[in-house]
Amino acid sequence: MEALRASREIMAPADWQRIDFISDLHLAEDTPKGFNAWRGYLLNTTADAVFILGDLFEAWVGDDARFEGFEARGAAVLSAAAADRKLFFMVGNRDFLLGAEMLAACSVEALPDPTALCAFDQRVLLTHGDAWCLGDLPYQAFRAQVRNPAWQAQVLARPLAERRLMARSLRSESERAATEHGGVWFDVDAPTALRAMDENNAPTLVHGHTHRPTTEALAPGRVRHVLSDWTLDHGRDHNHAPRAEVMRFEDGRWTRLAPADAVASGT
């Protein structure tokens, strides 16, 4: 496992009043409701900065995919939104191939995992979450492979069309594996999370990945906010109603908002 100490620390400028966090939107060609909700939210949020903490996209096959189709529409939304507020992006376990080229083209700043954020006189630790799901041994082996720079270079050297096919078969493989797990799911390892919070002197942790949105104390005085997934298109595939949520940090207080409630109302 990688270091628990954040290699990057972001100091929120004093004039930031609101900071939003989203993750696990899993946007794709076949999630038009999610995409439209995300676009409406990101272009109009009243936040000074938005931290996208991984799995914005269901798959990402390389930054050279950004010139056409769904990826081009995603890039256009990021670019337009970045003109009016600061955008940060951390990769997740689905869009881990989204890289510096795409982010630079869209004026989005890359975040290492984990990253520390200082805002409203508080220290907050940010992670996608998959790296600390230590109980899922097959996934951790897969992760070690696909995060290897040599493996990534080899994959990115293949033709774009071939990579799109690969992504499709990986997706059906992960759906099959999820079914075979028979409802077993892996949470972030709590001792690891607490150690990371200690090492970064951050009493608050924000992560996504598990699709189990909650706010809870991992230990006295140490709180984690687990971000919601966005399931507006696939509600019936899940054991819950369609949902989408933005976590907002405003004047040192945390609130969960529907995307439509995070935007300027015009009143």
Residues in touch with Mn ion (CB under 5 A):
55, 92-93, 209
Using the minimum distance from each CB to Mn ion, give the nearer residue, 20 or 58. 58
Using the minimum distance from each CB to Mn ion, give the nearer residue, 55 or 250. 55
A 10 A CB-CB count for 166 gives 14
Using the minimum distance from each CB to Mn ion, give the nearer residue, 93 or 228. 93
CB of 244 to Mn ion, least distance (A): 16
CB of 111 to Mn ion, least distance (A): 15
Residue of 216, 220, 209, 214 lying closest to 247 (CA atoms): 214
Using the minimum distance from each CB to Mn ion, give the nearer residue, 18 or 94. 94
Phi/psi at 30 (5° precision): -100, 25
Using the minimum distance from each CB to Mn ion, give the nearer residue, 23 or 45. 23
CB of 44 to Mn ion, least distance (A): 26
How far is the C-alpha of 84 from the C-alpha of 79, rounded, in Å? 9
CB of 24 to Mn ion, least distance (A): 6
Using the minimum distance from each CB to Mn ion, give the nearer residue, 120 or 142. 142
Q: Which residue is closest to Mn ion by CB?
A: 209
CB of 177 to Mn ion, least distance (A): 14
Q: For residues 215 and 254, is the Cβ–Cβ distance under 8 A?
A: yes
Cβ partners under 8 Å of residue 159, min gap 6? none
CB of 51 to Mn ion, least distance (A): 15
